């Protein structure tokens, strides 16, 4: 790989968007450490981080390949790396395949259950790219993909499932699905014109915002249930309050007749919510 192309590959996979799922992966990892009486293995932590990088790189690069036809026609996406031919499609394909293989190989060195479930994870995160062709539930599939981060990291640390990380995973599922609907508001007209499915295209902008709010309400309720079930302390509840306030503020920014702040609501507010929540909960776990 030409080293000068590294920034282009990072842009291709929207590496900055890692802030959505990575903090929850670390949260799952620390929950796993706690359940294992703090048996810290640096190699496992490194392998979890590599899994996150490889899985996301595979999913995003594959998504850009699958959507290339639409990205060329959509004014919002015409400046992406593949439509502009900053990167060639065969290079992106090699990158996606290599990332997928490295993801599976990395899980092999973690434990058997992670290795056996790695193809399932790949089917979900790669398959998402085609869901807009046939279902408006594509946002839920994206949420499902990102929701694998806390339970996946917990499995890597322990080799077992746990109720608390599963509850967190469901909260992530509804949170991501909700903010992806908000992000998709920008493409409602394009989706309708090109026979693509999405909640905004199927239900209209006003109803889509309402559905997003319901999903975010479910996410918030699950965080409260998690806190009660897990008997967390003050730091958990502080992080949860900040997370919910970020979601509420996000919905105050986006109006049916004014979508000018969608990107700020999507990236900035959700990034803050993810990082701050995970940081507070990890502190709660540590003390």
- Quick check: 105 and 119 in contact, CB under 8 A? no
- In this prediction, residues 169-193 reach a mean pLDDT of 96
Helices (H), 185-253: 188-193, 199-203, 205-229, 234-253
Give the chain's domains with CATH numbers. 3-286 (1.10.357.140)
Each residue of 256-279: pLDDT tens digit? Answer: 988 889 888 778 888 899 999 999
Confidence of residue 4 (pLDDT cuts 50, 70, 90): low
Q: How far apart are the first and last CA of the chain?
A: 44
Could you tell me what percent of the chain has a pLDDT over 70?
98
User: Is the model's pLDDT at 127 over the cut of 60?
Assistant: yes
Mean per-residue pLDDT of the chain: 93
**Biggest distance spanned by C-alpha atoms of the chain:** 55
Higher pLDDT, 200 or 263: 200
Does residue 169 sit in helix, strand or coil?
A: helix
Contacts of 11 (CB under 8 A, 6+ apart): 81
> Residues near 97 by Cβ (< 8 Å), separated by ≥ 6?
58
How deeply is 140 buried, as exposed, middle or buried, from its count of CB atoms within 10 A (0-12, 13-18, 19+)? buried
Under the banding of pLDDT at 50, 70 and 90, the label for residue 102 is: very high
Q: Please tell me the pTM assigned to this model.
A: 0.94
Whether 200 and 211 have beta carbons less than 8 Å apart is answered as no
């Amino acid at each position: 790989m030409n080293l000068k192309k590294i920034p282009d590959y990072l842009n291709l996979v929207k590496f900055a968007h890692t802030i959505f799922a990575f903090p929850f992966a670390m949260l799952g990892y620390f929950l796993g450490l706690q359940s294992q009486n703090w048996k810290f293995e640096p190699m496992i932590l490194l392998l979890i981080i590599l899994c996150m990088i490889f899985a996301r790189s595979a999913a995003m690069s594959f998504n850009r390949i699958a959507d290339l036809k639409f990205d060329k026609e959509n004014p919002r996406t015409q400046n992406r790396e593949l439509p502009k031919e900053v990167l060639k499609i065969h290079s992106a394909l090699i990158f996606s395949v290599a990332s997928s293989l490295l993801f599976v190989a990395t899980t092999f060195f973690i434990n058997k259950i992670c290795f056996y479930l790695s193809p399932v994870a790949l089917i979900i995160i790669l398959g998402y790219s085609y869901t807009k062709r046939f279902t408006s539930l594509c946002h839920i599939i994206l949420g499902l993909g990102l929701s694998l981060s806390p339970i996946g990291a917990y499995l890597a640390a322990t080799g077992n499932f746990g109720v608390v990380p599963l509850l967190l995973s469901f909260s992530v599922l509804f949170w991501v699905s909700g903010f992806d609907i908000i992000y998709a508001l920008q493409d409602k007209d394009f989706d309708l014109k090109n026979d693509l499915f999405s909640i905004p295209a199927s239900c209209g902008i006003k109803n889509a915002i309402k559905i997003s709010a319901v999903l975010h309400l479910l996410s918030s309720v699950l965080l409260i249930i998690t806190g009660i079930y897990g008997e967390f302390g003050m730091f958990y509840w502080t992080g949860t309050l900040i997370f919910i306030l970020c979601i509420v503020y996000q919905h105050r920014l986006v109006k049916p007749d004014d979508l000018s702040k969608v990107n700020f609501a999507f990236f900035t507010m959700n990034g803050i919510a993810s990082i701050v929540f995970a940081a507070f909960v990890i502190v709660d776990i540590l003390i």
